[in-house]
Structures are given as structure tokens and as C-alpha cells.
Chain A
Amino acid sequence: MRAGGKMAAGFKTVEPLEYYRRFLKENCRPDGRELGEFRTTTVNIGSISTADGSALVKLGNTTVICGIKAEFAAPPTDAPDKGYIVPNVDLPPLCSSRFRSGPPGEEAQVASQFIADVIENSQIIQKEDLCISQGKLAWVLYCDLICLDYDGNILDASTFALLAALKNVQLPEVNINEETALAEVNLKKKTHLNIRNYPVATSFAIFDDSTLLIVDPTGEEEHLATGGSGLTGAKLQDCMSRAVTRHKEVKKLMDEVIQSMKPK
């Protein structure tokens, strides 16, 4: 169907879902992507020097910045050899007009919980690595993720930003002085964190009773997604294999960027 520019824009306003379905029928999307294609991903590591580790990730227009600050704390009484990682996702009103200022809304809280679960389940870093002195002193890593531009798929962007920022974190060496029982921080000797696993998130939007799955939805697509009655096992397998491919893409990109940052 050929439509003049004005007609297409009018149709889009009146029947957004139908307009979108026309593209899906041709196995593509309004921005020219295929159903299984991600938007252009860029990452910028270590740009915030006041943070102990930082990363800025852009997934198309969606922009998330992660800043990590390390502080001292007493380890939890039930796990004296562990430190803490405290993630927080902030969706401020500046990233989109849908968010109001005030306490964190539902979406921000869900995203924060998601990131906390990812950290816990994937064991990105062993919390034991964050312990300085058993029962007395440990590191707490505050991971603050701020969305600067919201165009869908906040979870994928946040996970990647967190991962890249953790890779960038450098903690100074700390020794407990036996006589004074005070911690002595040696800022000249810094070591990177030991990242054990690399969790990479892949989000899908479901259209029309699970017959169509699109990867990396934009804000508009998230809004239009109709959801489905359930996924078949085969579809789930498709999703998982796409996620595995995405993992390779993301890890490659991150390694390239970190390699390019090394002083020659």
C-alpha cells in the first residue's frame, strides 16, 4: 500500500496499532529494523571522574548513565565476610514527560528490583571480594543508574550500563592498622573488581497473541504491544537463542571499548 506522507502520518495518529501491523506484516519496523535487530548500541566508559566507576550506554535514543561510589560499612552480622552492592534506578522527569517528580514511581522501583535480582542471581561479583576485614569493615558499592532519555527498553540499557561501570571500578588498597584499628587507604594502589559473570539482558515485546516477537522495543512499541495469551516452548527457545547472540555482541563491544581505553 502506497500512502502519501501526510496520509501516513494521519493514519498513524488515528490507528497506531494498525499502522504498526502493516510494517510487522513485512517483517520490519517503522524505523527500518528487522524484528530481531537491536538498535545501535554505544557505550562510553569512565567519563565521570568523581565516581569510582562509571559508564554511559545509549541503545538507540534510550540513554542510561551508571555511576558507582564505594564507601566503607560494617559487614552484615549474618554474613561477616561479605560486602554490599546497592543498586538504584532513577527515572527522573527529565527523561520523559510521562514521569513526574517526587518519590520513585512504579517503573523505577521495578527496574531497581530487577537490577538487584540480576546482581544477586548472576553473581557478577562475589560479595566476599568486597570484604576488607571480616566482621569489621567491608566495601559497599552504591550503583546509581539515571535514565537521561527514555525511549523504551530501559532494562537492557541499565544492565549493560551497570556491567560496564562495574568493569571500570577501581578500589584502592585498604589495610587495617593493628595498633590504631583504623583503616589506611592507599589511593596510589588501585585494583579492578573481579567480574565473574557477564549478565546481558534482552527484552522482547509481544504482539497479537504471541505470534510476533520483536526485540528491543522503542517507547512507542512498548506502548503498543498487545501482549499475548502465553508463549509456546518453541517461541521461548527462539528468544533464548536471540539472547545468547546478543550476549556475544554486547561482550564484544564492551571488550573493544575497554581495550581502546588502555594506555598504549
Chain B
Amino acid sequence: MAGLELLSDQGYRVDGRRAGELRKIQARMGVFAQADGSAYIEQGNTKALAVVYGPHEIRGSRARALPDRALVNCQYSSATFSTGERKRRPHGDRKSCEMGLQLRQTFEAAILTQLHPRSQIDIYVQVLQADGGTYAACVNAATLAVMDAGIPMRDFVCACSAGFVDGTALADLSHVEEAAGGPQLALALLPASGQIALLEMDARLHEDHLEPVLEAAARAARDVHTLLDRVVRQHVREASVLLGD
């Protein structure tokens, strides 16, 4: 969009953040009664919730059961009212299927699936309002939901998006920044080991610039980890107070 400065001379972005700054994150665990695990997260204006059912018996064909580990089934759904223009198909379209597949790959890397052979773990993610960074919000919400369900994981999975504007790497892009058309990268990180669960980018970026963008995303993902860790501890503290008394 002509005339819209994504990064001002003083180093401020459209919404007043600094280049490497995250949006405000608020998260809650255990929000739904029916599910085994659930979580709700708000990253700026992006609102996503994740619901986990499992581990349970394989639905549908028994033949799909894996003899040595659990099957992880992820579904991504974006509400029709979540974007500025109404979305015609909330799920089942190509983009949702691709997101579902990426989520599955991310969580297969983190969940200790060998502990639940021949069973299925369902992770459903619903985006209620999309303002950029939907993949990251979904991964963060799903991590909390899987923890709420008590399914053992190798580590937290923390995700963040990053872009590159005017020679500077920006972390946690909002919708305006994503729509501007620059390169964007989505990173899902296992913070303790520093291992990357998923890295996705489909844009042209000079290889010299990859390092700073990746670094910005990783740093932001670690900040997300600090926050999610606090949320989990708070939740456990509240739950133990309820049980103890």
C-alpha cells in the first residue's frame, strides 16, 4: 500500500511497536468442559482457541492405527467472521488443510507419541479473529491445550512469525504488515533444546538476510515461551489450590 510506512525512521512500526517486540499476549488454559484439554490465546488482535481430545481409540478405520506410536490428527478452522472479508469456507479448503498438516508435523515432533501406541490424539484449532500470525497463535494455543490435557511433550512448542522490511527484521507480524507483501517466515521452536519443529517461508529473501530474520523469530519465540511458562504455572497453582482445599 503506497504511503504506509511499515517502519518509521525512529524505528517504530505501524502499531507503535519496536522491530523485535511481540504483541500483547493473554492466554488461559482449561476453558472448555467437554474437551480433555483446551486453551484460549490472544496475540494482539488475533484470537485463537485450541481443543484437544485424547489419547483415545482410533476413529474410523482401525488399519490407520500405528503399532508403536499415537496418531496425531490436527484440524485448523478459521471462522467466517474472522477476517475483514467474509471467508466462504471455514474449513476443508486448501489453506486450512495445509495449516492442519503443518500443525500435525509440528506436534508430531513435540508430543511423546511412543507412550500411546495404537491411539489417536485430536487437536482442533479455531481462529475467531485473524490479525496476522494465525499459525503462531494456533501453535501456542495448541501447546497449552496439549499440556492441559496432560499429554506428555518433549518441550513447549513456541511459534512466532517474522518479516524483513527496510533492512530490519520484524518479529510477530500483524495483518497490515503481512498484507504489505514482504517476505514472511513462520517458526515453531522447542525452546529448551533450541530445535526447530517447523520453519516455513514462501517468498524471496536474500540468503544473507535469512540469518537475522531467523534470529528475530527465535528470540520472539523464546519470549513467548517465558509467557506460556508463566501461564502454565499460574494455572497449576490455581488448580492445586482448588484441589488442596
Whole-angstrom CA separation of A101 from B59 in the bound complex: 11
- Is A69 at the interface (CB under 8 A from chain B)? yes
Task: Assess whether A54 is in contact with B35, with CB atoms less than 8 Å apart.
Answer: no
**Pick the contact of A101 from B75, B79, B81 — CB < 8 Å?**
B75
- Contact of B118 with A by CB under 8 A: no
Question: Chain A nearest CB: distance from B52 CB in Å?
Answer: 9
Q: Flag if A48 contacts B47 (CB, 8 Å).
A: yes
Q: Mark B40-60, 1 if CB is under 8 A from A, else 0.
A: 000001010101010010010
Q: Does B62 contact A (CB under 8 A)?
A: no
Asked if B101 lies at the interface with its beta carbon under 8 angstroms from chain A, I say no
Interface SS of A by simple majority: loop
A145-153, A226-234, A256-264: which lies at the B interface?
A145-153
Chain B interface size, under 10 / 10 to 19 / 20 to 34 / 35 or more: 20 to 34
Q: Which residues of B contact A49 (CB under 8 A)?
A: 45, 129
B126 contacts chain A at the CB level, 8 A cutoff? yes
Interface size for A (C-beta < 8 A) is 31
Residues of A within 8 A of B49 (CB): 148
B33 near A142: Cβ-Cβ < 8 Å: no
Given A49-B129, A67-B81, A94-B51; 17 other pairs, CB 8 A cutoff: A50-B82, A50-B83, A50-B131, A61-B33, A65-B79, A67-B128, A68-B81, A69-B80, A71-B86, A93-B75, A93-B122, A94-B35, A95-B32, A101-B75, A142-B80, A146-B79, A148-B49
Residues of B within 8 A of A (CB): 32-35, 45, 47, 49, 51, 53, 56, 59, 75, 77, 79-84, 86, 90-91, 122, 124, 126, 128-131
A-B contact pairs, 30 of them (CB 8 A): A48-B47, A48-B81, A48-B129, A49-B45, A49-B129, A51-B81, A51-B82, A61-B33, A63-B32, A65-B128, A67-B80, A67-B82, A68-B81, A69-B86, A90-B90, A92-B77, A93-B53, A93-B124, A94-B51, A94-B126, A95-B51, A97-B34, A100-B59, A142-B86, A144-B79, A144-B80, A144-B90, A146-B126, A149-B33, A219-B34
